[in-house]
Structure 1
Amino acid sequence: MKTLLKPIAGAALVLALAASPAQAQTKPAAAAPVNSGTVVAGLGVADLEAVLLNTSAYRTGEQQRPVTYKATIDQAQARGKALQTQIQALNAKLQKDAAAPGANRAALEQQAAALQKMQESGQAELNNIIKPVVYSREYVKEQIEEKMDAAVKAVMARRNVSLLLAPQSVILSTSSAYDMSQDIVNEINRVLPSATLSPPAGWEPRQIREARAQQAAQQAATPGAAAAPRPAGPQPDSR
């Protein structure tokens, strides 16, 4: 029988991200090209993902989070190790039973189903434990993103740029004069030197809020979705 043991990789990744310092999340800027050729006025290039990751607010949050949420991270790591030990034991028994002569296939399938269920429930449990840490990072990112548009426009106006391109859109550049990323980082640092690390009670990341809003809109657009159910039993005569 094929092994069903799968490490709780998703939780391990989340834990690694939650506990890692800022450098693990920093996207380094590309090496500056040699300045040569004619620089076209009005053009600029900026990597907004790298901008966000290199702001003071984001870097400070990455440094503070492992300290602020240490108890949560420790709890998730301890629980993850315990779950992994349980899963390994179940998997070892499954493999031993499967290798035995005359193995009962129905019993093996039940064991495999139990192992699968434990993996899924363990993943869900760890995700729930580590959720405050994940939400903290998303909250910091949203605070920076809220300043991004104004910062980009301010730098474009200051540098007389009318067309801003992403690095992916540029095939080749022989001049660093177009790169506006650091200027945008500096502008965000000016207006948002630090961000609030912990979101308020009940806060959810933008992706979840948007998904809820979309679901509500779809339900509202479905005929009869919002109609109240008729009570059971005889209805009063409306005459």
Structure 2
Amino acid sequence: MNIVTKSALGAVLAAASVVAPAVVAPAAAQSNERVAFVNVQAVVVNSTAYQTAQTQRQTTYAAQLQQAETRRAAIQAQLDPLITAFNTARQQPNADQAALQQQAAQIQQIQQNGQNELQQILAPVALSQAYVEEQIREQLGTAIQNAARAQGVTLVISPETILHAEASHNLNEATLAQLNSLLPSAQLVPPDGWLPAEMRAQQEAAAAAQVQAGAQQPATTGR
């Protein structure tokens, strides 16, 4: 899938203006060009696979979701009196600023620890979300190409580059139909040890750097 950015499109137009006096494309050829746009994120979240996974996740990961909600409520219950006491203390005419700073630091620490704890509880849910989205995006390029060919589109861009477009240039529905055909459903639970593509790339880069560093170590010789 070729994505043309606004800067790249500007460069193409600038180049075309330079050569226009010497080379003029035939009107028939120009009329055969058709541009359309696709909102990738909108297509992903509206796909059947994504929506089905969202529903299934509420059941499959019900234990983690309930645990997180219970823990969130407990953390908030711990914070509420501390926040009330802090607000009351700082409104006093001669408020102890050092004591206020200690109270604020305590509240922030509890909030940070709570956030970390909730992220840990919900880690399997987040991993499932990433797994489903990666499966969808693996088919997205093919879906866009199929939709473009079916409608005679020769250039597909993203909405961020558009200032105005008629509805006929919107390829979202056609792409969504193709994506649903290619991937009616996605696997919800990732296999053991699975990591998102970004983390896999980081691990591979770290491993390659380690191998390279080892190769550059001078060989030791015995005496």
- AA at the equivalent of 1:128: Q
Equivalent residue, structure 1, for 2:192:
201
Deviation at 1:80, TM superposition (A): 0.3
Equivalent residue, structure 2, for 1:114:
106
Equivalent residue, structure 2, for 1:20:
none
The RMSD of aligned alpha carbons is: 3.0
Structure 2 gaps of 5+ residues are 1-30
Equivalent residue, structure 2, for 1:36:
none
Deviation at 1:92, TM superposition (A): 3.2
- AA at the equivalent of 1:76: A
| Structure 1 Cα separation of the partners of residues 189 and 68 of structure 2 | 18
| Structure 2 Cα separation of the partners of residues 238 and 86 of structure 1 | 64
Which one is further off, 158-167 or 95-104? 95-104
Change (3 A) 1:102 1:69: closer
- Does residue 169 of structure 2 align to residue 185 of structure 1? no
- Does residue 189 of structure 2 align to residue 238 of structure 1? no
Deviation at 1:138, TM superposition (A): 1.4
Q: Percent identity?
A: 32
Deviation at 1:132, TM superposition (A): 1.3
Cα deviations by residue, 1:104-156 (Å, 9 ceiling, x for unpaired): 83x54444333222111111001111111122111111100000111112222
TM-score by length of 2: 0.71
Deviation at 1:173, TM superposition (A): 2.4
How many residue pairs get aligned? The number is: 190
Structure 1 gaps of 5+ residues are 1-38, 229-236
| Structure 1 Cα separation of the partners of residues 71 and 161 of structure 2 | 45
Which one is further off, 163-172 or 206-215? 206-215
3-state SS of the aligned residue for 2:106? helix
TM-score by length of 1: 0.67
- Does residue 154 of structure 2 align to residue 162 of structure 1? yes
Change (3 A) 1:97 1:169: closer
1:69 aligned to 61, 64, 69, which one? 61
| Structure 1 Cα separation of the partners of residues 52 and 173 of structure 2 | 17
3-state SS of the aligned residue for 1:44? strand
Equivalent residue, structure 2, for 1:15:
none
Q: Kindly report which structure 2 residues correspond to 1:1-239, keeping only aligned pairs within 5 A, or say none.
A: 41-95=33-87, 99=92, 103=96, 105=98, 107-174=99-166, 176-214=167-205, 238-239=222-223
| Structure 2 Cα separation of the partners of residues 138 and 88 of structure 1 | 33
Deviation at 1:89, TM superposition (A): 2.4
Change (3 A) 1:227 1:167: same
Conservation of the 8 A alpha-carbon contact between 2:89 and 2:95: no
- AA at the equivalent of 2:176: V
3-state SS of the aligned residue for 2:190? coil
| Structure 2 Cα separation of the partners of residues 43 and 97 of structure 1 | 62
